[in-house]
Amino acid sequence: MNSPAPKSFVNPRARHNYAGRPCSIIGVGSYVPERVLTNADLTRMVDTSDEWIITRTGIRERRIAAPDQYTSDLAAAAAQKALENAGITPQQVDLIIVATITPDMPFPNTACLVQQKIGATRAAAFDIEAACSGFIYALEIGQQFIMSRTYETVLVIGAEKLSTITDWQDRNTCVLFGDGAGAAVLQSRPDSHGLLTTCMGADGSKGSLLCMPGGGSRNPATPESVQSRLHYLKMDGKETFKNAVTAMVQAGQEALRRCALDIKQIKCIIPHQANQRILDAVAERLGATPEQVFMNLDKYGNTSAASVAIALDEAVRQGRIQRGDLVLLVVFGAGFTWAAAVIEW
């Protein structure tokens, strides 16, 4: 499903013939809950300290959704902002794709709930699950519908309420995660290449290193599974760190290679906001300067599939990305999964 770079690709701002029509992001939006959970708050919940958290993660605070606020609510709020930014009405949306590991319920899918909340009654709707890589996976899927002329307008959303699967007794993981959502509207824009290439990958042999064991057909909900805390996220931090850096660097390099680009030509790099040490290592190995890398990890923590979507919206609103700029997105998540995308804005 990976989309190749245009043939004879030399200048990313020059027009080239595509197998299908080009696909661009014409609007973005994001939403984070009002409640702020600081490191100081966490010190009253588990044995930790502000210094310990900042030194190891770079996170200072994260957002936590209200008890009556669900993933579909976060997704709908981000979607509405993206549609407004794009100048698109809900009735113009042909397809909604929601990337999430924290759906409101196993079924119906969260995308259907979002469809109802925003009034996109014409839209088909489905979810995908690629953990923290979900937003780029969803972008690539959405692009295929645009390029093939199946649909004119696709709404892609990354949304998570990770606070519901976070073990607040585990100091190694509870400091990392937050809630939020980000969205992008896809259309074909004739004067822009838009999404130039997407590289995706996975290694299922390492799935147990980052997972939620309970809740599926293997470990359905029982009093014993709940007592064993199987319905919370589990992570081997050291192995995840090591694999994340390697996979993100290789994916980023491959995406640049496909487009015949040098890292210096990229205006803004938006990596998955997982951990400051991971981000620093990825940036260094890619040969990026600090000025190229956009980070909001300190404010929101790791929001999984919402991470790069929220960061992309903030980078655009802050003026870090202008029309015609080249942007590199690079992510890593449970599965393990990883992906990178190069975009001409």
Catalytic machinery residues: 132, 272, 302
User: Which of 127, 101, 129 lies closest to 113 in space, CA to CA?
Assistant: 127
Q: Helix, strand, coil shares of the chain as percentages rounded to 5?
A: 40, 25, 40
- 174 close to 64: Cβ distance less than 8 angstroms: no
d(CA 212, CA 229): 10
Query: Exposed, middle or buried: residue 171 (CB in 10 Å: 0-12, 13-18, 19+)?
Result: middle
Residue 32 is given by DSSP the state -
Containing 180, the helix (H) or strand (E) segment is strand 179-187
Containing 327, the helix (H) or strand (E) segment is strand 326-333
- In this structure, the strands spanning 154-161 and 61-64 are unpaired
User: Which are the contacts of 201, defined by CB distance < 8 A and separation ≥ 6?
Assistant: 247, 251, 337, 338, 339
- What pairs with residue 330 in β-bridges? 271, 340
Instruction: Name the residue type at position 153.
Output: T
What is the token pair recorded at 16?
């080239």
d(CA 214, CA 72): 22
- In this structure, the strands spanning 195-202 and 337-344 are antiparallel
